[in-house]
Structure 1
Amino acid sequence: RRPGVPIGVVIMKAIIASEWLKARTVRSHWVLIIIAMMFPLIISTLVGILNPDPQYVSYREVVSIVASSGAFSLLLLSSLWVINLTSEFTHGTIRVTYAAVPARWKVIVSKALIGTLVTAVVMTVLFWLNLGLGAALLNSRGASIIVDGWFDHSFRVFVALVTFAVIVSWFGLGLGVLIKNSPVAIVVVLLWPLIIENLIALALALSGYESAWKWMPYQTAFQGIEGASG
């Protein structure tokens, strides 16, 4: 290490480098990233090609479609970070890591930093690529997507979507820390926004707490993104 650099900084950099190596050398991670990228791409392409009345489509509708399909992608990215941690428990490689770094929080923080970076980059590319593709296809068919105000509106939705994706990636990593079992943790990640929250909110509503819906984190976040894109 260079003179004057604290040993703690050197160790943290080494842990982050190790976690980055793990994240980019596992095939299942790349498979999930590719699927997360391709699904919105297919949706944007189909909308751009098959929309029967492209001249009536505005940039708000295109942004809404990209944000909605991106909500599916962020669940896949959350599953990626579940697998990133739980697979180490499954194969026993986490023991080597913890033996080298007894301070376990440093390992978890390093995984969270790598997860934040990768998730933010993937969602950024996903959002602007799909928005550009959808707008280009619709513009070629007579729509007027690129008009005054489109960038400010799109950027607000983009920030909301990326922020939500990063938080969900932390949620997936946290579940991995608690559960340590890939199938169970992935099921919770996928079913929580689709079923579990709805059942909890419904049970509370039937018990007299009609406002319970607004306290459900996933539902509130989805509605916030939809509201920003609408």
Structure 2
Amino acid sequence: MSTMTLIRTESARPTEPAPRFTDLLAAEWIKLRSLRSTYWVLALAALAAIVININAVHSDLTYIDHPPPRMPGMPPYRYDPLYHGLSDIACYLMAIAAGSLGAITVFGEYTTGMIRTTFAAVPDRRGVIAAKVLLIGGITALAGIVVSTLSFFTTNAILASRHVGLSITEGVSLRAVLAYAAIVPVCALIGMALGAVLRHATASIVSLVLLFFIMPLMFGGDRYRWLHEIGSHLPLATVGRLTYNPNSSTTTSKWAPSVLDAWITMGVWAVVAVVVTAAVVRRRDV
């Protein structure tokens, strides 16, 4: 009788409810917030990127007031607020900071063994990865928007005194601001994929540097089209195409991709990074 009573009692116990997606987001936020160095690095990188863009434009004021003499046979020089106000250096800084943040959210859990606790509490690995992607993508997207908008409006406010500034509705300004912001979460997702595949801090960061900075040097120039095609479809190359101002004195390559192609390339990098992260985490042992 006592055995039957025990069986009935055990069967009558309510099952533990499955965690909701909001619970997974909250858990990932707690993990990220507990690592103060991670979001401080992103915040400092965003601040430094804004300062770099503002300083670049402020340093150009003297150059704008005293432009170089016109070369024979060359068109008159036109200052490009997008090229200087949304500089490559600041973009590279945000790319490596966001990529590192994305990588550490994945390999950090494997390094500390926290991933075992996470999957023991939530066996649905797809839900965990979806929460990570949404959280990291959202935070880095916010950082990208802050850097892009503040850099654009501040630098063009400075240039307004020289009558060379742009408004957000003028030319390709809006597209440039959106692309400058969008590349930040894309780099974070790429970092997550590398962190999931390599599961090592040094290897992940070195791979980010190779992909973002070294490979563009290997696949540059206009001599061979196939090399140029590869280089123009690397992640950071899409930003250069989307922020290009056709009203400036600079020119693009004769094989430069279209604007639509650059947007598609950026989206493909993001989607492939998410798919790789989910596939690797689901199939590999912890």
Tell me which interval the TM-score lies in, with the shorter structure as reference length.
0.7 to 0.9
Q: Are 2:34 and 1:25 equivalent residues in the alignment? A: yes
Q: What RMSD over aligned residues (CA atoms) do the two structures have, in Å?
A: 3.0
**Which SS does the other structure have where 2:20 is aligned?**
helix
Shift of 1:214: 1.3
Letter in structure 2 aligned against 1:63: L
Shift of 1:56: 8.4
Which of the residues 225, 232, 241 maps onto 1:224?
A: 241
Task: Say which is worse superposed, 119-128 or 53-62, in terms of deviation.
Answer: 53-62
- Give the alignment's TM-score, normalised by structure 2: 0.66
* Maintained 8 Å contact 1:59/1:145: no
* Maintained 8 Å contact 1:54/1:138: no
**C-alpha offsets along residues 108-132 of structure 1, whole Å, 9 cap, x if unaligned?**
1111111111111100011111122
* Maintained 8 Å contact 1:36/1:76: yes
Letter in structure 1 aligned against 2:129: I
Q: Which has the larger radius of gyration?
A: 2
Which of the residues 67, 76, 79 maps onto 2:97?
A: 76
Shift of 1:67: 4.7
Shift of 1:219: 5.5
Task: Say which is worse superposed, 168-177 or 220-229, in terms of deviation.
Answer: 220-229
**Which SS does the other structure have where 2:131 is aligned?**
helix
Q: Are 2:173 and 1:164 equivalent residues in the alignment? A: no
Match of 2:52 in 1: 43
| Distance in 1 (alpha carbons) for counterparts of 2:125 and 2:153 | 42
Shift of 1:197: 4.8
Identity %: 21
Shift of 1:38: 2.3
* Maintained 8 Å contact 1:88/1:94: yes
Match of 2:193 in 1: 174
**C-alpha offsets along residues 46-67 of structure 1, whole Å, 9 cap, x if unaligned?**
2343221345899972222315
Letter in structure 2 aligned against 1:174: A
* Structure ranking higher in helix proportion: 1
Gaps of 5+ in 1: 1-6
Which of the residues 195, 211, 225 maps onto 1:192?
A: 211
Q: Which has the higher contact order (CA 8 A, sep 6+)?
A: 1
CA pair 213-27 structure 1, distance change in 2 beyond 3 A: same
| Distance in 2 (alpha carbons) for counterparts of 1:50 and 1:95 | 52
* Maintained 8 Å contact 2:168/2:174: no
| Distance in 2 (alpha carbons) for counterparts of 1:221 and 1:182 | 26
* Maintained 8 Å contact 1:156/1:228: no
* Maintained 8 Å contact 1:119/1:169: yes
Gaps of 5+ in 2: 1-16, 68-76, 249-286
